[in-house]
Copies of this chain bind each other. A is one copy, B any other.
Amino acid sequence: MADLGSNTTAVLTAADVAAVVRSVGVDQFMDHMIEGVREAAKGLDPESTMTIERGGFQYEKPSLGLVEWMPSMELGRAVGIKTVGYHPSNPIQRGMPSVMATTSIHDTANGRLVALVDATLLTAIRTGAASAVVTDVLANEDSRTLGLVGCGAQAVTQAHAMSRVRPIDRIVAFDADPNVAASFASRLPVSVRVDVVDSAADAIVDADIVCVATTVDIGAGPVLPMFGLKAGVHINAVGADFPGKTELPVELLRNALVIPDEVAQCLKEGECQQLTEDDLGPTLPELVQNADSFTAWREQLTVFDSTGWALEDLIAAEIVLGHATRLHIGIHTELQHSPLDPYAPYETI
């Protein structure tokens, strides 16, 4: 938990976050995140931990994208707000990540901005970690083959996170762009056999666990076939995060236990757009709190509809901030000056 007592604002750049992750160790950092998300879900008290459904501006010019904000609060302590830019055309057209984000942490004792943390890497890591928490409950213990549909940045942390909770020894990878599939193995922080295949159907046929994370266009889904899965597969559906964007066939969802991370958000932007609230299984926190009663579902089809839970972002930023403070990484600046006279706005002019 970060120190909220200082008068400065910590600014942690992408390089600072990378330095923290490097120092902690990439596997250990992922484990911290998995544990952080699991503990937050397990101990979730709606009276003291609150999230507000994300809001945002969606637009089609100058290019299709959105800027949105994801707020969460731990009452009596801190508010976290992640602002996210999502531009699916970024990698190909601009050489930039499709998701870029920053998280701000505010002290609720006085409203001060405590920290601003680049959350681009963290968003990918926490999304992997959330999938790992659900997978750890719902995937068979001996899940060894991971099927990937979509091999971009999110797929890297999905695969990494899966390897932390299950003995993954083979990844079968498909991407609509063969170059992205071909480079996938080189981007992984773990050494696993990766077989690149030519279709989503081929990627899932042997899979014990499937992760889907594509930038399929609005209305162009599904990207996963209706049939061809082994029995007892667990699917992490990561890509649907925009009204109209879905990756899974509705028939598949109807046959599965569907775990939404945030019900309202999933119904609006996730795979659950294709369902009604009555069709849904337990939420991520409900699943973790009652994990023992859901392990029987390992024999059946289960789907995690991951649209992103705002609390994950506060947790991720605080883990990094804690390490950064300990390691003296990042700059601390008087971003918000405390004047000698709080009534004198022009004091320093």
Contacts and interface: CB of A to CB of B under 8 A. Distances in A.
A86 B112 CA distance: 9
A18 interface: yes
A67 B113 CA distance: 10
A65 B87 CA distance: 35
B67 A108 contact: yes
A87 B336 CA distance: 15
Contacts of A21: 349
Given A67-B111, A79-B67, A102-B104, A334 B13 contact: yes
Given A83-B113, A94-B110, A96-B112, A151 B343 contact: yes
A322 interface: no
A21 B61 CA distance: 34
A260 to B, nearest CB: 21
Given A90-B110, A151-B343, A14 B57 contact: no
Interface string A77-118: 001010111110011001111111010101111111100101
**How many chain copies?**
2
5 smallest beta-carbon distances between A and B, as pairs: A85-B111, A14-B337, A91-B342, A18-B348, A67-B79
Given A14-B337, A26-B346, A59-B76, 18 more contacts: A11-B11, A13-B337, A14-B336, A21-B349, A59-B75, A67-B73, A67-B106, A85-B111, A85-B112, A90-B111, A91-B342, A96-B112, A97-B345, A99-B111, A116-B335, A152-B343, A153-B344, A156-B344
8 contacts: A13-B335, A57-B79, A85-B112, A91-B342, A120-B345, A124-B345, A153-B344, A156-B346
